[in-house]
Amino acid sequence: MQLLSGNRLGSLTRSTPVKNPQFSTAVQSRSSRKLSTTMATTVKTVTTKEVATKPIDGQKTGTSGLRKRTQVFMSENYLANWVQSLFYALGDEIVGKTLALGGDGRYFGKEAAQIIIKLAAGNGFKRIVIGKDALLATPAMSALIRRRKLYGGLLMTASHNPGGPDNDFGIKFNYSAGEPAPESITDKIYDETMKISALKFGDLSDVDLSKVGVTAFGSFEVEVVDSVEDYLSTLKEVFDFPLLKSFMARKDFSMVFDGMHAVTGPYAKRILVEELGAPDSSLKDCEPSPTFNGGHPDPNLTYAEELVKIMWGDKAPTMGAASDGDGDRNMILGDHFFITPSDSVAMIAANAEAIPYYKSGLKGVARSMPTSGALDRVASALKLPFFETPTGWKFFGNLMDAGKCSVCGEESFGTGGDHIREKDGIFAVLAWLSILAYKNKSVPEGGKLVGIKDVAMEHWNKYGRNFFSRYDYEEVDSAAAASVMDQVRNIIASSPKGTKLGSFTVDAADDFKYVDPIDGSVAAGQGLRFVFADGSRIIFRLSGTGSAGATIRMYIEQYSNDPTQYEKDAQEALAPIIKVALELSQLEKFTGRERPTVIT
């Protein structure tokens, strides 16, 4: 172990290999007792060194944490300033607490972990629990916090954004229910970043993160844990693993999971292969890489291109799935078939009986505002409480904590439930496997296997189809993006109920505002929307997750209950309303973009 110069705690550091987390608890408490006895006569706590710093502009948290270019994060004190500001914002309540730490394995993550560990020690935390090699998928972090009742956790991730020295890095804080920090905390962090003057580092050496075990520095401890174990235990409480295993063994079923060289590789190996018996050949790109192998780890039809080719190929497997950089997003595909995320959450809710965790029924369901209304129809048919929140998983947390929401989802490839407080890519994969296993219970091997498309067709035949598409214009000049939004605002202001836009009649047009039904907090300015008399919608938002320029998102939705239309291509079905949206926003005129970067 390398020691910082002048570190007098070196003689007390030690590493205890621990294999089983339950056993590890016993080992830790024994080792802490022993160490504190030693410490009583030598060193009581970690020494804190204060380092002067200055505020850095632009450290405002976006939709989910702070995301910037990696070089920005690597510049002097950039990461430390934000983390220290978080600790100042949280105040004395962090003293003596345990903080979880992990990330999606992207470039700079291991160095960042060492900086955060030292700051945590210098600010009074008593313990860090960190995933081996600093890896923790975002849903696994949420599960870890909840299972071990930790104070909270820091995730080093820029999610689906590419990684590497010339791409993105990010950091976000999850609070004690495992949920992304609410705006009341992120606003405070931002205030602190603007007045920060000192960083408090614990005077410790770097910790070896490659081995599971405990390293103690006086009263401060760092426990390196298996990144999968706690999360797997949570998933086993949700799904029927033996049923999934026997379904996976069917010769007429096959799947491919694309880890996109991101964090879920080790999770997929452990869960799909070792626990559920999928063959190794069903895993694609499941070796994590700090640059995601030069790819864009965003599971959509554009960036998961290779998976799409497999699923539209001659010998397509029954099911295809992918997850993103940090494992919270997912994409579900069938043989020549794409399940939109908006449909995915609706279909999971409608088929919740296939998942043992929901055996006593759903408490309620929720979706973000731009997500299609497919879920609304399920909620209405099943008489379930329904909530429409702003974009951002953090808005679901209060509903789940209050026992009002069991399943929720977002069009941005996020699906999840109240087993944790993050969206959960592997959950979505296991949920769809559960639906298939359930629907094929009485189908003998070699019979007509119910596939992903069959589930979708059955659903649309019952509820109708909400055609949905999102156009992303990435890295647009910020001023041009602002002009588009101003233009849309002007049209909203001059479009009272009854106004005709193309062949669509406006029912309501506004800037979405959410009043949290649990704590009454208000989130305004959450998306410009037109709702038409036939239920169709056009929505414009600026993304809160980009790291450079602005990303305009245009969301389009139209409902049909005409069965002859259900198999139509969404772009074809939505062509007239897309035309209206592009015309009213004058997007091309302001941005010079003739077409979007990504269509989903």
Question: Which of the residues are catalytic?
Answer: 159
The DSSP result for 87-113, as a single string, is HHHHGGGGTT-EEEEEE---TTHHHHH
- Asked if 391 touches ligand G16 (CB under 6 A), the answer is yes
Site string for ligand G16, 413-442 (x = CB under 6 A): -x----------------------------
Site string for ligand G16, 452-491 (x = CB under 6 A): ----------------------------------------
Tell the smallest beta-carbon distance from residue 391 to ligand G16 (Å): 5
- Asked if 106 touches ligand G16 (CB under 6 A), the answer is no
**Given the complex with ligand G16, which of 35 and 528 has the nearer CB atom?**
528
The single residue among 28, 61, 159, 330 that binds ligand G16, judged by CB under 6 A, is 159
The DSSP result for 479-502, as a single string, is HHHHHHHHHHHHHHHT--TT-EET
Residue 114 CA to residue 200 CA, distance in Å, equals 14
> Buried (b) or exposed (e) across 94-128, using 16+ Cβ within 10 A?
beebbbbbbbbbbbbbbebbebbbbbbbbbbbbbb
- Asked if 340 touches ligand G16 (CB under 6 A), the answer is no
Tell the smallest beta-carbon distance from residue 414 to ligand G16 (Å): 5
Tell me the three state secondary structure of residue 250. Answer: coil
Residue 271 gets which letter from DSSP?
A: I
Residue 569 gets which letter from DSSP?
A: -
- Asked if 393 touches ligand G16 (CB under 6 A), the answer is yes
- Kindly state the tokens that stand for 71: 């070089």
**Given the complex with ligand G16, which of 461 and 478 has the nearer CB atom?**
478
Considering only residues 549 through 568, tell me which ones interact with ligand G16, judged by CB under 6 A.
Answer: 553
Instruction: Count CB neighbours of 245 within 10 A.
Output: 14
Number of residues in contact with ligand G16 under rule CB under 6 A: 18
Tell me the three state secondary structure of residue 574. Answer: helix
- Kindly state the tokens that stand for 447: 């019979």
**Given the complex with ligand G16, which of 168 and 203 has the nearer CB atom?**
168
Q: Which stretch binds ligand G16 (CB under 6 A): 117-125, 226-234, 256-264, 385-393?
A: 385-393
Question: Which among 424, 429, 454 has a CA at the least distance from the CA of 248?
Answer: 429
Instruction: Count CB neighbours of 524 within 10 A.
Output: 10
- Asked if 597 touches ligand G16 (CB under 6 A), the answer is no
**Given the complex with ligand G16, which of 12 and 177 has the nearer CB atom?**
177
The single residue among 70, 545, 547, 600 that binds ligand G16, judged by CB under 6 A, is 545
**Given the complex with ligand G16, which of 266 and 392 has the nearer CB atom?**
392
- Asked if 142 touches ligand G16 (CB under 6 A), the answer is no
Tell the smallest beta-carbon distance from residue 383 to ligand G16 (Å): 27
Type of residue found at 337: F
Residue 23 phi, psi (nearest 5): -65, -35
**Given the complex with ligand G16, which of 239 and 393 has the nearer CB atom?**
393
Which residues, at least 6 apart from 571, have a Cβ–Cβ distance to it below 8 Å? Answer: 469, 578, 599
Element (H, E) at 577: helix 570-585
- Asked if 392 touches ligand G16 (CB under 6 A), the answer is yes
Residues at the contact surface with ligand G16, assessed by CB under 6 A = 63-64, 159-160, 324, 328-329, 368, 391-393, 410, 412, 414, 543-545, 553
